[in-house]
Amino acid sequence: MGKLYQKYVSEFSCLASACPDTCCAMWQICLDEQTALDYLNDKGEIGVIAREYMRGKPCSRRLALKNKKCPYLTKDNLCKVIIDKGEQALSTVCSMHPRFVHPLFEDSYEFLSLSCPRAVEMFLGEVKNGGVSYIRHDLQNPYLLQFYEYVCGISERFTQFDVAKETEKTLGADNLITELFTAVFDKMEYLEEQTADALKGLSYDDFVMGCNAFQREFGKEFFAEIFKYFSLMLYNEKSPVLPTAFIFAISVCALYSKFGSYEKAVYKFVKETEHSERNVKNTIRIMRSPKAKTILRGLFCFSDIYGD
């Protein structure tokens, strides 16, 4: 089996109680069946909590949240399962996060999800140092390789010009992009009220301001890298992957104006979108609509991102 992966995946280590966010709150904690049974049969406090908070049927079990957090999260933001039983007792999802593996035929794509503040720090560090390195190892199926090379080509073009400036050349781009933000973010499934309010109020001016701020801090490579990240993360979804990656990339830039923090704009956005199947599918559906195509038709990159 071949794989494409971000070179820094193996260097990740969790910030634990120093994390400004946590991956153990707001969303469902899914458990593989063996781990669920181990917890349910545990004679100590792990078992007591499991029997109170475990929901779902065999093979699709999850933990209900307590005050919006995993019931195993201590008041110091540490994991009670690790404290009591060691890391080997974690479920597959918990032990992997934020490392993800997307399988595609004979190959797979491995990456660090940017919903994690530490992964964002590493990603931005890579961008500052010349870009994220992706390693291709023994890829078997031509599809992933072709897709990767196509995305690299578009990303390379994004490093050659100022995205916000290019967008300005399109007549009425301000209203069109604001309209697109509204269409995508008005009906999303949200985890956090603060991010929901920020996303629902995004405008074209936020995008221009944020895009310029990211560019000043990280160079033109930031837009190219975040577009590449979303494209590859979505690669096993049905098309149109690239327009969805584009709208996600400009939204991350726009969110900077609401949070005033590069890292927070990235991980808050990714947490709300990437890990909700409903939100991704909804955005893809909107990007497939004739209206979205009309909105994006005038933009400089339309033909590339829609493959026209």
User: Could you say whether residue 159 binds ligand SF4 (CB under 6 A)?
Assistant: no
- Listed ranges 18-26, 30-38, 43-51, 122-130: which one lies at the site for ligand SF4 (CB under 6 A): 18-26
Concatenate the DSSP letters of all residues of 92-154 into one string: HHHHHTTEEEEEETTEEEEEE-TTSHHHHHHHHHHHHTT---EEEES--SHHHHHHHHHHHHH
Contacts with ligand SF4 by CB under 6 A: the residue count is 11
Report the site for ligand SF4 in 173-232 (rule: CB under 6 A): none
Of 116-124, 130-138, 165-173, 293-301, the window that binds ligand SF4 (rule: CB under 6 A) is 116-124
- From residue 205, give the alpha-carbon distance in Å to each of 113, 132, 212, 251, 286: 28, 28, 11, 11, 22
Q: How far is the CB of 216 from ligand SF4 (least distance, A)?
A: 27
| 285-294, Cβ contacts within 8 angstroms, sequence gap of 24 or more | 286/183, 286/184, 287/240, 287/243, 287/244, 287/247, 288/239, 288/240, 291/183, 292/180, 292/183, 292/243
Q: Which is nearer to ligand SF4, 48 or 83 (CB)?
A: 83
CB of 15 to ligand SF4, least distance (A): 4
Asked if 15 interacts with ligand SF4 (CB under 6 A), we say: yes
Among the listed ranges 21-29, 40-48, 155-163, 192-200, the one in contact with ligand SF4 (CB under 6 A) is: 21-29
Question: Residues in the chain, how many?
Answer: 308
Q: Provide the minimum distance between the beta carbon of 264 and ligand SF4 in the complex, in angstroms, as a whole number.
A: 12
Report the distance separating Cα 116 and Cα 120, nearest Å: 6
Q: Does 112 bind ligand SF4 (CB under 6 A)?
A: no
Which of 8, 9, 19, 300 touches ligand SF4 by CB under 6 A? 19
- Alpha-carbon gap, residue 101 to 155, rounded angstroms: 22
What ranges make up the beta strands (E) of 2-106?
2-6, 29-31, 54-55, 61-63, 99-104
Question: Binding segment for ligand SF4 among 65-73, 110-118, 284-292, 293-301 (CB under 6 A)?
Answer: 110-118
Residue selected from 21, 42, 225, 263 as contacting ligand SF4 according to rule CB under 6 A: 21
Q: Is 97 in the site for ligand SF4 (CB under 6 A)?
A: yes
Closest separation between CB of residue 22 and ligand SF4, Å? 5
Question: Do the Cβ atoms of 221 and 159 come closer than 8 Å?
Answer: yes
Closest CA to 23 of 86, 123, 117: 117
**Binding test (CB under 6 A) with ligand SF4, winner from 118, 258, 268, 275:** 118
Give the closest residue to 226 by CA, choosing from 150, 124, 307: 124
Q: Per CB under 6 A, does 70 bind ligand SF4?
A: no
The b/e string for 31-47 (b: 16+ C-beta within 10 A; e otherwise) is beeebbebbeebeeebe
Span interacting with ligand SF4, options 13-21, 31-39, 84-92, 168-176, rule CB under 6 A: 13-21
CB atoms near residue 57 (< 10 Å): 6
Say whether residue 98 binds ligand SF4 (CB under 6 A).
Answer: yes
Give the nearer residue to ligand SF4 in terms of CB position, either 14 or 65.
14
Q: In the complex, which residues of this chain contact ligand SF4 (CB under 6 A)?
A: 14-15, 19, 21-23, 97-98, 116-118
